[in-house]
């Protein structure tokens, strides 16, 4: 069961958009709660604490996140973060 979920997680590549302020500087971050909500939206229900994120993701680009479903089952989720403008993020 855990291995099936791990396979589904590995295939996903959720995208998040951070708002940008004046000068194009991104603000805000992607938290484990944001990632958890996105996984649920994709039909994957796991414990939020399984998402091992030391600190919120604040930089754009791809980031690999470890998801520990079981002591012996670990999945890697790759998320993409874009620094878009606030109008697009809305």
Residue 55, judged by CB atoms within 10 A of its CB (0-12, 13-18, 19+), counts as exposed
The position carrying tokens 């604040």 is 58
Domain around 59? 2-89
- What pLDDT, in 10s, does the model give residues 28-56? 899 999 999 999 999 999 999 999 999 99
Helix (H), strand (E) counts: the chain:
3, 5
Least confident of 8-12, 24-28, 29-33: 24-28
What is the rounded CA–CA span in Å between residue 63 and residue 49? Answer: 18
Which pTM does this prediction carry?
A: 0.85
Q: What is the CATH number of the domain that holds 63?
A: 3.10.430.100
Q: Give φ, ψ of 81 to 5 degrees.
A: -120, 125
- As for how many domains the chain has, the answer is 1
The answer to whether 12 touches 42, Cβ cutoff 8 Å, is yes
The model's pLDDT over 64-84, given as tens digits with 9 standing for 90+, comes to: 999 999 999 999 999 999 987
């Amino acid at each position: 069961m855990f291995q099936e979920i791990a396979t589904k997680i590995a295939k996903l590549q959720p995208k998040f958009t951070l708002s940008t302020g004046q000068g194009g500087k991104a603000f805000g971050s992607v938290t484990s709660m944001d990632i958890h909500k996105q996984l649920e939206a994709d039909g994957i229900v796991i414990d939020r604490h399984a998402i091992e994120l030391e600190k919120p993701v604040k930089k754009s680009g791809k980031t690999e996140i470890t998801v520990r479903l079981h002591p012996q089952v670990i999945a890697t989720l790759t998320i993409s973060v874009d620094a878009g403008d606030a109008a697009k993020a809305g």
